[in-house]
Amino acid sequence: MKEKFISYKQQIMLFFLWLSVISLFLIDSFRALSSIAMIGFTLTGLLSTQPKNWFKNLQLNKPLLFLVISFLVLIPSVLYSSNLKYFGLRVQILLPFLVMPFAYAQTVEFSEKQKKVISYTFIFGVLVTAIQALIYYYNHQCEVNQAYLESRVMPTAISHHPTYSLMCAFSIYLLYNAFKVEKNINLKFFLVAITLFLVVFLHIFSVRAGLMAFYILVLLIFYEQIILKKQYLLAITIGILCVGIAISTFLYSPTIRNKIANTQNDIENYKSGGSVNNQSLGSRVISYKNAIEITENSSWLLGCGLGDIEDLNNDLFTQKYPDVTKRIIPHNQFLFYLASIGILGLLIFTIVFYYPLFANFKNLNLIAHYLVISVAFLIEAFLTTQLGVAFCIIFLILFINRARVV
């Protein structure tokens, strides 16, 4: 039995990572699946080598070690957090950053073929959910078009639409990668067709986060094709297609026009001092201001404590913006951590979290994922949701270059 496990341990870990990808698309209906996959992945990794080698292997794989530290940096704030229930919830959601890099450090790196299984499963999930969303839109066009004027978007299988839009943008980049290495001409055309479909969908979906991430990834593709590979024709073709799709969706899709109108209305309303209730951008700006005020009122060095940020944020909404019914936490990961663990904790977190990027700076896949994560950090408290944490850690593990293990 033990010999069979040793022979198939990598395939078992791949299965649980694959299950983690599946869980992304079932997060609203089967939330426990993500935890099941994480536990299976972790146990398989830890059983892959002797306990005496666990920390030695983690030290050998410094990018994974630094991801573990990015979790540990939050723990000291328990000493000055009053709301331990909220602190425990935040730590529980972030546990994958502790256990999954630790477990993966105990095994050899996934092969390119195995990585392709994960990437294609993710692309398929995005494709299916995009088709589902467009079918709904086709049957409820008036209702959905009106929603875009009210800071809402078309329903998708994943209810958290900013993260879903980021997943769409990243899947397009993965399709571009698949196109580069595919040699079968028929499959190349198939990949192009799926890519164009998802690019069109992303523009019709019209979520600011996803569109921002998409065009940043296009710049990364330009850098690769023009600066690194001197493939000017492909870069020009991609540029023309992007411009064409952007113009076409603006002319023929009410969703993107309504989204632009809603954004302009939000900005004008906030500038004029109107109520930000049910105003997406206005509420976000207030959450940013709250993060700064919480930091000023507690400690610039250590913050208020991870457990207390929600309570303090809600208090500020009650005192200053009583008309706002949806009291969101600071929708910026850096400001969220500034208020929670102070400038010292934020500095340590930023260094250790981005260390794998600088340690693998020629790895364009990892750069692409970090770019998407960084967009997420700017517009969301991304690591406070199970979906955000899972999406983040799955592809960090997949694309980080690995050292050998003992």
In this predicted model, what pLDDT tens digit does every residue of 134-146 receive, in sequence order? 999 999 999 999 9
Considering just the CA atoms, what is the radius of gyration of the chain in Å? 22
Full residue range of the structural domain in which residue 22 is found: 2-262+340-399
Task: Note whether residue 171 is domain-resident.
Answer: yes
User: What pLDDT is recorded for position 13?
Assistant: 95
Going from the C-alpha of 107 to that of each of 60, 157, 360, 401, the distances in angstroms are: 12, 34, 19, 13
Query: How far from each other are the two terminal CA atoms of the chain, in whole angstroms?
Result: 22
Task: Note whether residue 88 is domain-resident.
Answer: yes
Task: Note whether residue 314 is domain-resident.
Answer: no
Task: Note whether residue 302 is domain-resident.
Answer: no
Residue 80, burial from CB neighbour count under 10 angstroms (0-12, 13-18, 19+): middle
Q: Do 296 and 287 contact (CB within 8 A), yes or no?
A: no
Task: Note whether residue 15 is domain-resident.
Answer: yes
Q: Which of 94, 65, 59 is nearest to 353 (CA)?
A: 65
- Whether 4 has a pLDDT exceeding 70, the answer reads no
Sign of CA dihedral 336, 219, 67, 161: positive
Helix axes 112-139, 161-181, angle to 10 degrees: 130
In this predicted model, what pLDDT tens digit does every residue of 364-405 receive, in sequence order? 999 999 999 999 999 999 999 999 999 999 999 999 987 666
CA distance 364 to 240: 23
The whole-model pTM stands at 0.96
Task: Note whether residue 83 is domain-resident.
Answer: yes
Task: Note whether residue 306 is domain-resident.
Answer: no
Q: What phi and psi, each to the nearest 5 degrees, are found at residue 11? A: -70, -35
CA distance 99 to 205: 35
Q: Which of 304, 329, 313, 385 is nearest to 77 (CA)?
A: 304
Confidence of residue 323 (pLDDT cuts 50, 70, 90): confident
Q: Which of 153, 169, 249 is nearest to 203 (CA)?
A: 249
User: What pLDDT is recorded for position 324?
Assistant: 85
Task: Note whether residue 404 is domain-resident.
Answer: no
Q: Domain tally for the chain?
A: 1
